[in-house]
Structure 1
Amino acid sequence: MEPPIPPSASGIEEDEEWELFNDDGFVYKRHKRSRISDAAEETSKPPDPELDPVVEERNRKIRKKRILVKLKRKYRSEIDQWEILSNSLNAIKEKADRFQTTQREERLNANATTSYPESCSVEGAREFGGGDASAPSSMLDGLLFMAEAQEAVINDVLKMCEVAENICRIEEEEKKQSFFDLPIWSSPTDLMTSLCAD
């Protein structure tokens, strides 16, 4: 009768079938390949196109070009959005400048019209016991007009802020979604291939 095989011996045989493999920093176990079968596979298979430096360089250039085109599209869309915001801000600034110039002109016209008849109106007011009612009403109209213009500017700025917030929110959601869409890779090689493709 043969003696039973100790469990440690079978465990050693199983460990000999596996080897640790370091693939660019990713360490994992894989089945050992026999040197005879490896040599036979190498002679029977045509050379791997990935090992060919010319093909590898061409693939690297294609990947690089694809990534750069993708980045260019992304940045082009962002630049377009910021140009729209900049143009609307410039329009608001021009509106405010026009408002200020019209306001100055109105004040100068009001001062010119009130300064000339001021002496006459003061004497007339003293005679009739009344006051100059047109000056306060024109000042009130000017202040009312200025308040309405400021309200319009504030509304324009609020709209621009909402647009900027929406742009930031959309970009944040896209970044979050890109992390949610990440697949689960079966091997480190698939992971590296996926990361290089992006």
Structure 2
Amino acid sequence: MAEEKTGPGPGPSVDLAAEDEWEVVNDDGFVYKRRKRKNDAPPPPSPISTGNTTANDEQYLRQRRLLKKAALLNLKAKYAQEIREWESLSQMSQSRSTSAITSTKDPVPSSSSLPRTQTQNARKCILMELLKQAEAQEDFIQDVTSICGAVELICEAHEQDLKQPVLDLPVWGSPTTLVHNLCPSDSDDNA
């Protein structure tokens, strides 16, 4: 670096390069530029670790672990209860399905142990039972269809009742009567 004298005559020599150095400072979002300072300040003090702070840190970590453990145990108990409920529901549904299957099955002897006429009679009985079930289902479907038709008729009648006042408005009439109704006549102005 070159040292230059400032001003005429004898005087202190000043380092111009050092004077022209600037630094950018960000002070909580306020950014500005200032001349660099000489680093005469002592370094910031390093954090002093004492036995008390490490004991506090260990106590904090121990409490935090206990809280996490308690939360996890609580969550585990909650899920275990939910699993028990699902298992009981599953067992109930399985028992109902097995009881429904056993109740619908008629004990039919095997065809190998019965003579041919008895197996044909058993098959006819099963077919007759299935036919009765299909007829019952058909009757049920017809009943539901007739109920749906009745509800549809009621809805259409209600819709007509709602539409009728709107359709009776004079707006839907001829345009000339609409214009006469909207514009005052000359006889009304004289009155």
Instruction: With the length of structure 1 as denominator, give the TM-score of the two structures.
Output: 0.36
- The structure with more helix, counted as a fraction of residues: 1
* Greater C-alpha radius of gyration: 2
Instruction: With the length of structure 2 as denominator, give the TM-score of the two structures.
Output: 0.37
